[in-house]
Structure 1
Amino acid sequence: MSQPLTPPPLSLYVHIPWCVRKCPYCDFNSHEGRGELPFAAYVDALLADLDHDLPLVWGRTVQTVFFGGGTPSLMPPDFIDRFLQGASSRLRFAPACEITLETNPGTAEHGRFDGYRNAGVNRLSFGIQSFDDGCLQRLGRIHDSREAETAVKLARDAGFDNFNLDLMYALPGQDLAMAAHDLERAFALQPTHISHYQLTLEPNTVFAARPPAGIPDDDLGWDMQEHCQAMLAGAGYAQYEVSAYARPDRQCAHNLNYWTYGDYLGIGAGAHGKLTLGHDGSILRRWKHKHPTRYLADAGTPAGIGGDEQVEPARRPFEFMLNALRLVDGFALALFEKRTGLPAAAIQPQLDEAVSRGWLRIDAGHVRPTALGRRFANDVIGLFLAD
């Protein structure tokens, strides 16, 4: 039996769908930009989209904003500024609101970072992927290692002291020493946060259809992961999520809200949102049409909605675990009850099974994945699928 739900913290996700060139491993909603991109019209569409969804979040405070893509740093600062001014006039932003912009080093220009900072962006996430030029070429990236380092230094000069570097390992042609060298290059730039994750061949990507030669096997990939995790810990980056490492108090607040089954309003082409509706205690998932042309035409109208879906109580345990079990420290059972409206007893058989297999441990009402459980995360989460 589900209980009344109190809306959790609210984030705002803004999708910018264009990029310079689609990477062969990318399964995000991104589209190669051709000619002059319609940024002014897109900001108008984003604000109309926001206006249409506002009744779902009246009176709530936005704790974090995240510009994802695509390549958000293709959008000039003036348009980011106009959007943030419009959004903050419609929604209350928390005084310490974390505002992150994803950026591709190949689109970094002198002066842009000053503009983003003046617009209100206070955190950057750089899609570096590797500091090895051969690896970058094989990944189809538009930047080289020199441009990556230059972009980070330009951001520092503009006053950004909170930024993430995205790095991948188990890349085509990569060995253990190369993966370690990538981290050494990253440490030299002193990021506050590092996302470090294994290359996977996602469905409907070029790499899935035509896998590149030289991808490390599972054993080498595991060796890279263990070696790099030790390096990250030694350099002062504490692992707090499957692929996220941070300096003290520099975890990504936006992603933490996802992983603790918080709410997020998703606007932009293909954006997804998840909202707890206070009037009836339901949980709504909503997504927008993916293609930029259709989105521009329909944003702010019912035709702009790609779909709505209620998250029924039977599915909430799986959704909660899909997120919360990514966290190294796990979650409190009280949080599960608060975010799902279900009693802890509803998942007790699955918890008992996971404990018996050595995948989870429970202490004083707190559930944590073990090292074994983190390695077999998909199996653990699968226990909570509704029949």
Structure 2
Amino acid sequence: MVNPPLSLYIHIPWCVQKCPYCDFNSHALKGEVPHDDYVRHLLSDLDADLPYAQGRCIETIFIGGGTPSLLSGAAMQALLDGVRARLPVDGKAEITMEANPGTVEAARFSAYQRAGINRISLGVQSFDAAKLQRLGRIHGPEEAIRAARLAGELGLCSFNLDLMHGLPEQSIIQALDDLKQAIALNPPHLSWYQLTIEPNTLFGSRPPALPDDDALWDIYEQGHTLLTNAGYQQYETSAYAKPGYQCRHNLNYWRFGDYLGIGCGAHGKISFPDGRIVRTAKTRHPRGYMQGNYRCRQHEVELTERPFEFFMNRFRLLEPAPRGDFSRYTGLPESKIRPQIDAALAQGYLVESPTHWQVTERGKLFLNSLLELFLAE
């Protein structure tokens, strides 16, 4: 085994209000954000995880939520300064922060940039006022456009727009109009994903009427053509980017890279020189977390589980998968999965070259069936 690249994920758990479709670890804000206290706990959490870093350099940082843009510019500066004081951070590291257009201010964005943020991900979701209201978003179309233009003017390395389709009672025309408006703002990266109804959400308990499967397929096909014609390349199930602007942090996840996770509910995955792979999870609720109870569980990934975990991530990407990465990052010889690979080839899910595996169009359609081949017996 060799150590894959190392990333850092930081979770900010608060939102102005909880969206009815959201099953992320987010909590509606009651009172003021405890900026300084939470940053202090984040850095204490990181201190406890430093042995896991093994002195390795951080190549990407992603600050997600919740709504990280609720954090003040000063708090963001203290946070990133604290990270850099504890760990080597690559001088060309991609440092992304998620932002809600309803919490965007020019002065605050500039402060984030001074702190080291060089990539912004804006949760636009739609440009239709009625749809935004139905989704429980706190911003309107004008704020989304203003935030995207501001992100484009800052001179960042990149910015992303998050956009959803398959919204309640959304027509094909409405879905494609959203996408056209997003493309017109010329983001280097677009995350375009279908709304799914998750358990333990308001939509889960009271499901809205969504477009049927035929309409969803038409939206996807026509939207994919729009994006391709506009110069975007699909590189992951729901991610499109102009050439050279793929999200490096997410690529590291899907390539079975390593990452530390700090903050409420954050997950981590770390490889060790002795061949162990350990997954960690942090306390989900801010109350418990801010009492200093950071890590709630961890477990070692057994050898029998590693093929499924590796391919569950790797086959989300549309790029060819280097065959050598399997042994490098799992510590297992390819012979351990040869029968499963042969079955995937026979069923037309994969094609194989001397150096790579590539998921076929059939493999994309039957991805769950492909992955099931690698489940431990």
* Distance across 2 between alignment mates of 1:330 and 1:175: 35
Tell me the TM-score normalized by structure 1: 0.96
Match of 1:159 among 155, 158, 164: 155
Q: Give the partner amino acid of 1:30.
A: S
Aligned to 1:252: 247
* SS in structure 2 of the partner of residue 273 of structure 1: strand
Aligned to 1:235: 230
* SS in structure 2 of the partner of residue 111 of structure 1: helix
Match of 1:312 among 299, 302, 312: 302
Paired residues, number: 377
Tell me the TM-score normalized by structure 2: 0.98
Q: How does 1:254-269 map to 2 (within 5 A)?
A: 254-269=249-264
Structure 1: give runs of 5+ residues left out of the alignment. Answer: none
* Distance across 2 between alignment mates of 1:271 and 1:86: 18
Q: For the Cα contact (< 8 Å) 2:327–2:333, is it kept in 1?
A: yes
* SS in structure 2 of the partner of residue 385 of structure 1: coil
* Distance across 2 between alignment mates of 1:207 and 1:376: 27
Q: How does 1:120-269 map to 2 (within 5 A)?
A: 120-213=116-209, 215-269=210-264
Aligned to 1:76: 72
Describe the superposition over 1:297-343 as per-residue Cα deviations: whole angstroms up to 9, x where unpaired.
Answer: 11xxxx42110100011001111111100011131110111111111
Q: For the Cα contact (< 8 Å) 1:324–1:330, is it kept in 2?
A: no
Q: How does 1:1-387 map to 2 (within 5 A)?
A: 5-213=1-209, 215-278=210-273, 280-298=274-292, 303-387=293-377
* SS in structure 2 of the partner of residue 297 of structure 1: coil
The Cα of 1:348 is off from its aligned counterpart by 1.4
* SS in structure 2 of the partner of residue 112 of structure 1: helix
The Cα of 1:189 is off from its aligned counterpart by 0.7
* Distance across 1 between alignment mates of 2:343 and 2:362: 14
Q: Give the partner amino acid of 1:261.
A: F
Q: Give the partner amino acid of 2:261.
A: G
The Cα of 1:161 is off from its aligned counterpart by 5.0
Q: For the Cα contact (< 8 Å) 2:261–2:281, is it kept in 1?
A: yes
Q: Give the partner amino acid of 2:223.
A: C
* SS in structure 2 of the partner of residue 226 of structure 1: helix
Describe the superposition over 1:134-170 as per-residue Cα deviations: whole angstroms up to 9, x where unpaired.
Answer: 2111111111111100111222333335100111111
Q: For the Cα contact (< 8 Å) 1:16–1:67, is it kept in 2?
A: yes
Q: For the Cα contact (< 8 Å) 1:66–1:99, is it kept in 2?
A: yes
* Distance across 2 between alignment mates of 1:141 and 1:371: 35
* Distance across 2 between alignment mates of 1:190 and 1:304: 40
* Distance across 2 between alignment mates of 1:207 and 1:370: 34
Structure 2: give runs of 5+ residues left out of the alignment. Answer: none
* Distance across 2 between alignment mates of 1:343 and 1:219: 43
Describe the superposition over 1:66-93 as per-residue Cα deviations: whole angstroms up to 9, x where unpaired.
Answer: 0000000110111111010011011000
* SS in structure 2 of the partner of residue 12 of structure 1: strand
* Distance across 2 between alignment mates of 1:339 and 1:77: 37
The Cα of 1:364 is off from its aligned counterpart by 2.2
The Cα of 1:251 is off from its aligned counterpart by 0.4
Worse-matched range after superposition: 189-198 or 130-139? 130-139
CA RMSD, 1 decimal: 1.0
Question: Percent same amino acid among aligned pairs?
Answer: 52
Q: Give the partner amino acid of 1:36.
A: E
* Distance across 2 between alignment mates of 1:257 and 1:353: 27
* Distance across 2 between alignment mates of 1:192 and 1:42: 32
Q: Give the partner amino acid of 1:88.
A: R
Q: Give the partner amino acid of 2:247.
A: C
The Cα of 1:26 is off from its aligned counterpart by 0.6
Describe the superposition over 1:26-73 as per-residue Cα deviations: whole angstroms up to 9, x where unpaired.
Answer: 110000011112111000000000001101113200000000000001
Q: Give the partner amino acid of 2:370.
A: V
Q: For the Cα contact (< 8 Å) 2:152–2:187, is it kept in 1?
A: no
* Distance across 1 between alignment mates of 2:198 and 2:64: 19
Runs of 4+ in 1 over 6 A off after TM superposition: none
